[in-house]
Amino acid sequence: MSLAPLRILVVLPMYGGSLSIGHYCATALGGMGHVVKVFDATLLYPAFTGLRALGLPQAATSQLENAFLHVVAQAIWAQVQSLEPHLVLAAAQAPLGRGLLQRLRRSNVRTAMWFVEDHEIFSYWRSYAPLYDVFAVIQKEPFLSKLAALGQHNVLYLPLAALPEVHRPLDLTQQERREYGADIGFMGAGYPNRRLAFRQLAGRDFKIWGSDWEDEPLLVSHVQRAGARISSEESVKIYNATRINLNLHSSMQTRDLVSHGDFVNPRTFELAAIGAFQLVDERSLLPELFAKDELATFATLEEMFAAIDHYLACPEERRAIAQRARAKALREHTYAARMTALLDFIQERMGAWPQDQRREESLPEELSPQLRDSLDRLLRTLGLGPHAHFDEVIQALRARSGVLSDVEATLLFLDEWRKQYARK
């Protein structure tokens, strides 16, 4: 369904894997025409971790951490008051505590979390899921029934996605192909199942990118940049340059190195959108996302090693599969598609989005419709709510560069006049 532009506050976690996903959501929502603000909690993370570095007793440290999280909640609430959002969208592990979520509900601000994690490993959802208006997840049963048992019935299965503006084919230089390219490559953290599985690739043209690969002597020569973290921009270059991108989902257990889990990781969609060839382990939710001829899969390590040899010898087959996966990803698995599904679901479950009735009532009657429209457009451009304080508008205007519009120039003139009048 078609939606009028909404004001949306995207709250990021202070750290963690969902950081980039939160940014991708914000980018997609902005591209859809919505007014989007990002609460970047990563800016507060050094201060939060610094509390432990003080060396205080554990009880005192815990008390300070709780007080700090209360300050973070107050900062988010201040952003809510400034933007007056229709929706607060939280990425997984975003610092929205119980008190803030209850306050948002009392204020009729709709809330949603996209829980992009394994519910069996990360269990904090039990405390917070019922407090959100909508809870989006990347798994199905038994997770859906567990959420219903807690009283959360507005649950949306929302698999991960790709952002075409970021995850795209690149024309790499020869130097970039030498630096990033290999017959076989893997990008990700050194989980136990991956460490054991990849040992058999030692000695081959194999590059490992990412962290947590320490104390792995057979693979040390394959780990690039001593296990430094890789930016999203560089990861796209790596995917483009690698002939076979391994995509083995993470697992802490080592009994079965191919975990046969359910959810599909973001790497699957990102590689597909790039048009890069990947070998991905079979997942129970994968067949409804990609057809058999759109991805090359394996169910055992023996199948993975055999597939590596086969596809290295068949570059045309690799390209054909990768292009089919890219077409599917761009057609169905983008963040814009996911955000559309989420907003439609919220409206379906909770009714039409609230109108800004107070905005119309607060404007003086003598304002012409033309000036009303100009002010509304300016507030949207600045990412402010319809009831933003005059000082907030002026502060946002002064932070901008470029040629001023008539309305902007008038507001800045009024601010200067107000300052001169105040001095008298």
d(CA 211, CA 81): 39
Contact, 269 vs 329, CB < 8 A?
yes
Residue type, 16: G
Domain boundaries along the sequence of the chain: 7-161+335-350, 174-332, 360-423
d(CA 219, CA 284): 30
Contact, 10 vs 39, CB < 8 A?
yes
pLDDT, residue 374, reads 74
pLDDT, residue 424, reads 52
How many beta carbons lie within 10 A of that of residue 16, not counting itself?
Answer: 19
Residue type, 160: L
d(CA 112, CA 25): 12
d(CA 331, CA 325): 10
Residue with tokens 């409804």: 288
CA nearest to 42, candidates 65, 14, 66: 14
CA nearest to 104, candidates 84, 121, 119: 84
Q: How far is CA 358 from the centre of its chain?
A: 32
Q: How far is CA 402 from the centre of its chain?
A: 31
d(CA 402, CA 383): 17
Tell me the CATH number for domain 174-332: 3.40.50.2000
d(CA 190, CA 288): 28
Q: What is the mean pLDDT of each run of 10 residues along the chain (424 residues)?
A: 84 92 97 95 94 94 94 95 95 94 96 97 94 98 97 98 98 97 97 96 97 94 95 96 98 91 97 98 98 97 98 98 98 98 97 67 52 73 70 73 75 69 55
Q: Answer positive or negative: Cα dihedral of 100, 103, 105, 108.
A: negative
Cis peptide before 13 (omega within 30 of 0): no
d(CA 225, CA 6): 43
**Architecture label for domain 7-161+335-350:** 3-Layer(aba) Sandwich (3.40)
d(CA 116, CA 213): 24
Residue type, 122: F
Q: Answer positive or negative: Cα dihedral of 356, 357, 359, 360.
A: positive
Q: Do 7-161+335-350 and 174-332 have matching folds?
A: yes
pLDDT, residue 362, reads 43
DSSP H or E stretch at residue 330: helix 315-332
DSSP state of 131: G
CA contacts within 13 A on the Cβ side of 88: 32
Could you tell me where the beta strands, DSSP code E, fall in 92-180? 110-115, 134-137, 155-157
Contact, 302 vs 337, CB < 8 A?
no
The DSSP secondary structure of 88-99, one letter per residue, reads EEEETT----HH
CA contacts within 13 A on the Cβ side of 42: 13
Cis peptide before 364 (omega within 30 of 0): no
**CA 13 to each of CA 19, 20, 115, 373: distance values in angstroms, whole numbers, following the listed order:** 6, 10, 12, 35
